Chain A
Amino acid sequence: MTNTQVPYYQNDLFASMAHIEQLIDYILHLADTTLVLGHRNSEWTGHGPALEQDIAISNIALDLLGQARNFYQLAAELINEPPKAHPFTMPYKRLVTEDDLAYLRDAFDFKNYLITELPKGDWAFTILRQFYFSNWQYYFYLALKNSSNTLLAAIAEKSLKETTYHLKWSSEWVIRLGDGTHESQQRMLNAVNDLQYFFGELFEPAVYEITLIADHICVDLTALKPLWLEKTATILDEATLPFVEPTWWQSGGKKGLHTEHLGFLLAEMQFLQRAYPNSIW
């Protein structure tokens, strides 16, 4: 990641924004979510079950990383805007960059959904997680496109096109594996089991979102749930897989309470910047 471009977000737009701190947290939550899943998917690069699918999951990883960069750049602009509205600052009053936000924050600062940080597991787990996530992201970006914040709406408009391809691809693979061989079906059943307590969080608003919903800045997640459930039930039914909505689910990622897996992911991803500060390559 290099930051050689002229910043493209118009600063005068920020001046009138209310709830700036909550907005920064919200944008960081979206950035962290796409970065962490992009990183997990990139672990398949060179290890995919077939060359074409290795390329596919790596492409999805790249799209998610690109979306993360757009969110981090926006967050950095907001943080740099005086007066300093967010506790994350750099020493010597240096301006914050997208790279600082990705590489120099710790696990408890990350606000990604728990589902994105779970280890990649087998191909079935990766596919089902991607389907759950892309299905959520598709309806999420559709709604965020209408955000009263034009900068977030622009990122959503751009990203939606990419997510449409991810959703189509992952839906096809859920069906192919679920309705495939005995082994592929067994692995998909395990994935359905392993993920059942992790999709509930996708529809749980965090504290910083509640204030933003009133201003039509962020997406009302509770409204997405019926759309998500309907699509998921249709695809899983076609894949001959059972789908049960649990009454309890894991949450905490959005406020910085993570599984033990995130720390290991960050340790690997951030090692270079932390061991050799300011190095570029």
Chain B
Amino acid sequence: MTRAPALTMSDLRKTYANGVVALKGIDLTVAQGDFFALLGRNGAGKSTVIGILCSLVNKTAGKVTVFDADIDHDFARAKSYLGVVPQEFNFSIFETPWQIVCNQAGYYGIGRAQAKRRAEKYLTQLGLWDKRNDITRALSGGMKRRLLIARALMHEPRLLILDEPTAGVDIEIRKSMWEYLTRINQSGVTIILTTHYLEEAESLCRHVAIIDRGELVENTATGELLEKLQMETYILDLAAPLAELPPDLRGRPGWRLKDSATLEVDMHKGGNVNQVFAELALRNITARGMRNKTNRLERLFLDMVNEGKA
């Protein structure tokens, strides 16, 4: 049986009114039941993607479907499948958690009695039950984040989208949020979250896409991404031109002849470089020099890690 993906985007583009090109054609598919991370530096375009999904931002071009609903033709249905946890707090500071979650249910057409039952369930699960009648202005940052999650779950969405849910949350609460989200995912809800912590993607998500300057630069299983990050590529300048690699090196994983004078070899970080020279010497190939290939992915991660510290 084939199931419609939870989310597809094709050639999604956004240019803001001030001329900023935030998305340059994003293609992405998220399978039902997946736990998916959208990773990227500040300003990469993550929130823009999410804004388009939940109708806070008009797309400039492209097509988006949420399960069986195309957002251009059946936006109301698409929205009813989606729960959104925004990056910024966006509830009234004069209302109470109880009012906020009950009203949110009402906006999805859920009757008052059922709304109250769910409000009790989700406020309790997120540790906000004791605070239900306090105005939100009086809540701590971590509580406000959890309120955003409770609010997004009130209509029991099939796809939960969280925009940097753990930004600015201390490590203990972050861990408990991770556990909670894992349970929600296990109950069958597809989850997409944006983050600039690799660690978060690593511990939670099965798939990771990386967005940089409005473009998707990677889209893979988390394990493979980590594997790639463990690899290093060396560029060797050959003394004499080589038409092709000797037969026994041709099929070797990680070895590529870029042109007649340049050989590239992928190796695990910390691997033995001498091995490469030994292999070459054995076949009478001389390398005049060797350098590291700059790894775009790695540089991105370094930037993200630095941002995370800042």
Chain A complexes with chain B? no
Query: Which residues of chain B have a CB within 8 Å of any CB of chain A?
Result: none
Query: Which residues of chain A have a CB within 8 Å of any CB of chain B?
Result: none
